[in-house]
Structure 1
């Protein structure tokens, strides 16, 4: 009896981890639906994708808005995220949210509010680097493939 409970608990933990991180190939990443402070109507939750979704594919309906949330410490180190995307993804807003830690140089979060404006396979990429320095190819990079369709329910 005890071994069945342990097996069930292990299966539940792994199922939850796979669901939250979307690690399994061929499955859509399940975003957080945390309410962010940067959208016009803070009562409507938007999908949020973070570092756990790096190098993943997500599926969104046409015209949907979503957030990419990445840790950043640009204030003290100068390292900030530099976003680029294909034409079908519109960058609506970029906001730095300081952490609750009140220490000078404390890291925060960069939130990109984006809109899926064209159907098809779209790409978002953000490179973490100092804007005043040339890229070397060893920078941290976040990439997300967004499959936009006009027949996917939000």
Structure 2
């Protein structure tokens, strides 16, 4: 059992070529991902991307979109615990790092490799006393990367060891 768990963990962290293409649902849309996670994507969001990766251990929903930094801050504020700040990426992965269930599948850099302008938080349903947190359906790791002044890409990774409903 331990050997199987270690092999799966190694495969996620250091995926082979076949693992990078395996297990992705073809019909995952940003609207579907927002619905599954319970997040309301700002209407002004552009470059919306989504994915669903399923394996024997867990399912991962990915959602990414780009907004003005001011809008990103409004999106993030009700998802943070009161009195907390978002963390910075103090231990980045090396450039070129990929995951078998990562954002590189969506044509984006893995947020774990980004440092400048990167902020990180996580939230679970009901963890903050806001309607946004109450609407969450899965725990999510949220990363916000201001990749150019005034423009931020939001990365959302939500996973579940229960099967997530597949897109229609």
**Same fold (TM > 0.5):** no
- Higher RCO (CA 8 Å, separation ≥ 6 residues): 2
TM score, norm. by length of structure 2: 0.30
Name whichever structure is richer in helix by fraction. Answer: 2
Name whichever structure is richer in strand by fraction. Answer: 1
Q: Which has more radius of gyration?
A: 1
